[in-house]
Amino acid sequence: MDHGLKIINWNVRGLNARARRTAVRSLVVTSSASIACFQETKMEFVYSSTVLETLGSEFDEYVYLPASGTRGGILLAWKSQDVTITDPMFTTNIISAWVTTRGSTSVPWWLTIVYAPQDNNAKIAFLHEIHDIRDACPGPWHICGDFNMIYRDEDKNNGNLNRRMMGRFRRVLNDLALKEIYLSGRRYTWSNEQSPPTLVHL
């Protein structure tokens, strides 16, 4: 993997509104990222014009997992001048693909983007899905996205915890020897935008 390569990962909570696409583009431009991974696009169809408006002309390649109505959806887009992404695989909640950095001697690697379901029974199936994807993606692997689960008490600002699901998630992380990338700048990544808020690091 090329440690100098920049990837932006974001639950955008919908790309249907022009104002949201403008806000996303502003962040993407300042990030200098070569790969963009977006969850919860809420779009059943993603057109080239939408990608152009949201990310700019340098992001000239993309694949996507359709939303179910207005729920879910994943978009993976990249700058072909920086990376080659091939062999995309699609499952219910996941996109995976093989990444090679152009002009680099670094080893190619697998990238997986997830958007996990909110229903507890569906979450159990999703955890099996992650295991299956790992079997299909041997070698260096980076997985990112919105897991809609936590595995530590400190990842939530209140005591309303599903410890059984936390344990299941923790076991999958351990089984697959996954290491969390350090989050800088903030403690939580999601808010229910209520008062008082529920804050979670997903």
Residue with the bigger pLDDT between 180 and 30: it is: 30
Q: Which CATH architecture has domain 7-148?
A: 4-Layer Sandwich (3.60)
pTM here is: 0.90
How far apart CA 65 and CA 81 sit, in angstroms, is 23
Task: At 136, give phi and psi (nearest 5°).
Answer: -85, -10
pLDDT tens, 6-49?
Answer: 999 999 999 999 999 999 999 999 999 999 999 999 999 999 99
